[in-house]
Amino acid sequence: MDNNELPYVVSHFPQVKGVKDIKSIGSGLINRTYRVATDGGDDYILQRINHHVFENVELLQHNIESVTNHIRAKLCARGERDVERKVLRFLRAADGKTYYFDGEHYWRMCVYIKDSHTQDEVTADSAYLVGLKFGEFESMLADLPERLDETIPDFHNMEFRMRQLRDAASADKAGRKAEVDGLIRSIENDAEEMCQAERLYREGKLPKRICHCDTKVSNMLFDSAGDVLCIIDLDTVMPSFVFSDFGDFLRTAACTAAEDEPDTDKVRFNMDIFRAFARGYLESASSFLTPIEIEMLPYAVMLFPYMQAVRFLTDYLNGDTYYQIRYDKHNLIRALAQYKLYQETRKAVSEMKQYIARQVDKAGESFRLIL
């Protein structure tokens, strides 16, 4: 996209006046994000939606609107102050829709939340707070009256992700299979165990609920005091296993290195972050979690680096068609780093279980009644 066209796109959102400057921001791998500064009043976020990934933009925007309206109503009802900084507000285009289609691309805008910033890391102190907020986010959506469909069908379905990997390996479009044979074999060894959630769901033992489905540290806004303001990047808010949000968050937050760290010796699992996050999450999510969901939290911590390794490796085999890459082997490096993290989380399972059991015990009567 030629950046000169961006003001033209913005002009389709009548609320935005006095555009001063539009800058590319953000680190997302799917959409493109810009900050729109104006002469006075609010700044805005402009996003080009990747409609190859989110094929049904109408559904995507419907989900986001339902979720933000529901959260806003809850925050207002409990007398929360500063609500506009605690939930995103999307703008309407001139035709009344929450997006603008320029004939080729889909665009949407929301108000930029003042004095906020994103972080790529959390400390043990902030992880507790972040856990509380993600648990609260899920619990606020537990009684969402509208039905939300999946914006990306089978997004966190491990059986489906394995099928995609196997298909990519047999098609071998980019001629890279031989290079990654060893990694594919290691992944296959644990596939059955890692697909257990789908089986439990089919047996009616595990529910699906509305989840965020992309709970990275960088998908949260913090204020200058380090408090969590608001959860962002709502594209993947959809029905899924509730422990998805728990496992996916720790995938980035409790990892001692970046998602694409080339030196896998640096990739380890930080138990302090796990403990702080789990304590916060259990505190706010205990009101609706079932015993099986709690029991599967350590499994979820393993599942997400495993699934991400499979997804990155699949994209590598397909010739890098899904994730934006910055260099040739980027997806392979990402897959190796995620696989290493998966191995590290596996070593920590019994410690995780013990910690969760202690938290549940400590929470006393009220928690036990729910269990």
Residue given tokens 């590319």 in the structure block:
24
Stretch that binds Mg ion, among 173-181, 197-205, 231-239, 282-290 (CB under 5 A): 231-239
Total of residues contacting ligand GN1 (CB under 6 A): 9
136, 138, 233, 245: which one contacts Mg ion (CB under 5 A)?
233
- Residue 31, classified by CB atoms within 10 Å of its CB into exposed (0-12), middle (13-18) or buried (19+), is middle
Helices (H), the chain: 6-10, 57-77, 124-141, 158-171, 177-189, 191-194, 196-202, 243-253, 271-285, 291-295, 297-317, 330-347, 349-362, 364-370
Q: With beta carbons less than 8 A apart as the criterion, state whether 239 and 211 touch.
A: yes
Q: At its nearest, how many Å lie between Mg ion and the CB of residue 54?
A: 10
Query: Within positions 193 to 232, which residues make up the interface with ligand GN1, using CB under 6 A?
Result: 214
Query: Within positions 280 to 319, which residues make up the interface with ligand GN1, using CB under 6 A?
Result: 308
Query: Which CB sits closer to Mg ion, 214 or 261?
Result: 214
Query: Which CB sits closer to ligand GN1, 245 or 259?
Result: 259
259, interface contact from Mg ion, ligand GN1, none, CB < 5-8 Å by kind = ligand GN1
Query: Which CB sits closer to Mg ion, 155 or 367?
Result: 155
Q: At its nearest, how many Å lie between ligand GN1 and the CB of residue 53?
A: 5
Three-state SS at 141: helix
Q: With beta carbons less than 8 A apart as the criterion, state whether 70 and 140 touch.
A: yes
Structure-block tokens of residue 269 = 């699992």
Q: Which DSSP state fits 91?
A: P
Phi, psi of 222 (to 5 degrees): -115, 155
Q: At its nearest, how many Å lie between Mg ion and the CB of residue 70?
A: 20
Q: At its nearest, how many Å lie between Mg ion and the CB of residue 13?
A: 22
Q: CA nearest 322: which of 29, 98, 44?
A: 29
Using the rule CB under 6 A, is 259 a contact of ligand GN1? yes
What character string, x for contact with ligand GN1 (CB under 6 A) and - otherwise, covers 10-49?
A: ------------------xxx-------------------
Binding site for ligand GN1 (CB under 6 A): 28-30, 53, 214, 233, 236, 259, 308
Query: Residue numbers of the site for Mg ion (CB under 5 A)?
Result: 214, 233
